[in-house]
Amino acid sequence: MARLRRFSWLGLLLILAGCRQDMHDQPRFKPLAMNDFYPDLRSARPPVDGTVARGQLNADTYFYTGKIGANPGDYMPFPVTEDVLSRGRERFNIYCAPCHSRVGDGNGMVVQRGYRHPPTYHQDRLRQAPLGYFFDVMTNGFGAMPDYASQIQPRDRWRIVAYIRALQLSQNATQADVAGQQVPSAAPKFEEPGSGATPPTTLPESSYTGEEQK
Ligand code: HEC
């Protein structure tokens, strides 16, 4: 018993000796606190000139600005696939449709409640606008429209650009652009209009376009 007691006293002594506060109270600056160690009195230091934070090299200027020199360019920085367009549609419907509407005519829900009416995408000026222009509007905003640079990553902004161009084509298509479908497409006919809680059931398209059902 005596040996045990001696042992535990020794143990306690060792633990106390090892228990220093250094690791607990490490020297640090509170965020944005003043500090007179530096001549400009700021504890938060600007990055050293010429350094680039990981993931922020942004060497491909066109990809990050949509511009070539001072002017918007008119090509996509990566190929447009079906995945690119469907992601573009998803992002567009989340971030742009509330004002620009899902078809891009500017009659979004926010606008119907009194926000400034944006111009429709389906006018010659915007149909002819280069792709980089749309990227730039999202990146820097335009007039009353705020920018979406912090909400939408550059790659998604480009996907939205591709989808807007698809929207413009779809809203300005001619009979020659689409084989085997009526332009403009006929309004669907309902078998059951739906109650609001249940979706409407539509008749097959062939029954009102006069086409053979395939
Ligand atoms: C909060 C409403 C709102 C949202 C959301 C919004 N916009 Fe706009 N947008 C506007 C308004 C308003 C204008 C017209 C601004 C003006 O003329 O001052 C505009 C204008 C534009 C224009 C036309 C610029 C021109 O040359 O006439 C483009 C292109 C555009 N928006 C793209 C987008 C895209 C892409 C998104 C989604 C990332 C988006 N907008 C989201 C309100 C919105």
Domains located in the chain, CATH noted: 70-171 (1.10.760.10)
DSSP string, 25-81: S---PPTT-B-TTSTT-BSSPPPPTT---TT-----HHHHHSEETTEE--S-SS---
| Per-residue pLDDT, 208 | 57
Going residue by residue through the chain, which has 214 residues, state the pLDDT in tens, using 9 for 90 and above.
556 566 677 666 656 666 667 778 888 888 889 999 999 999 998 888 989 888 888 889 999 999 999 999 999 999 999 999 999 999 999 999 999 999 999 999 999 999 999 999 999 999 999 999 999 999 999 999 999 999 999 999 999 999 999 999 999 988 888 877 777 777 778 888 777 788 788 877 666 555 544 4
Query: Quick one: pLDDT at residue 200?
Result: 80
How close is the Cα of 147 to the center of ligand 1, in Å? 9
Per-residue model confidence (pLDDT) at position 43: 92
Ligand 1 neighbourhood includes 106 CB (under 6 angstroms)? no
Closest residue by Cα to residue 68 from 144, 12, 132, 115? 132
Instruction: Decide: 148 in ligand 1 pocket, CB within 6 A.
Output: yes
158 lines ligand 1 (CB under 6 A): no
Q: What is the DSSP string of 130-149?
A: -HHHHHHHHHH-BTTBPP-T
What is the pLDDT at residue 173? Answer: 85
Write down the pLDDT at residue 3.
62
Residue with CA nearest ligand 1 atom 27: 119
* Segment holding 201, helix H or strand E: strand 201-202
Ligand 1 contacts CB of residue 110 (under 6 A):
yes
pTM of whole model > 0.85?
A: no
Angle in degrees, CA 175, 180, 182, rounded to 5:
50
What is residue 169's predicted lDDT score, i.e. its pLDDT?
A: 93
Strand partners, 71: 68
DSSP state of 191: E
Which of the listed residues 137, 139, 147, 148 should we mutate to test ligand 1's pocket, taking the one with most ligand atoms within 8 A of CB? 137
Whole-angstrom distance, CA of residue 98 vs CA of residue 151: 15
Neighbouring residues of 209: CB distance < 8 A, sequence distance ≥ 6: 181, 182, 185, 186
Helix or strand run (H / E) with residue 152: none
Best residue for ligand 1 mutational test, from 100, 126, 168 (most atoms within 8 Å of Cβ): 100
Output the CA 123–ligand 1 centroid distance in Å.
14
CB 70 within 8 A of CB 132: no
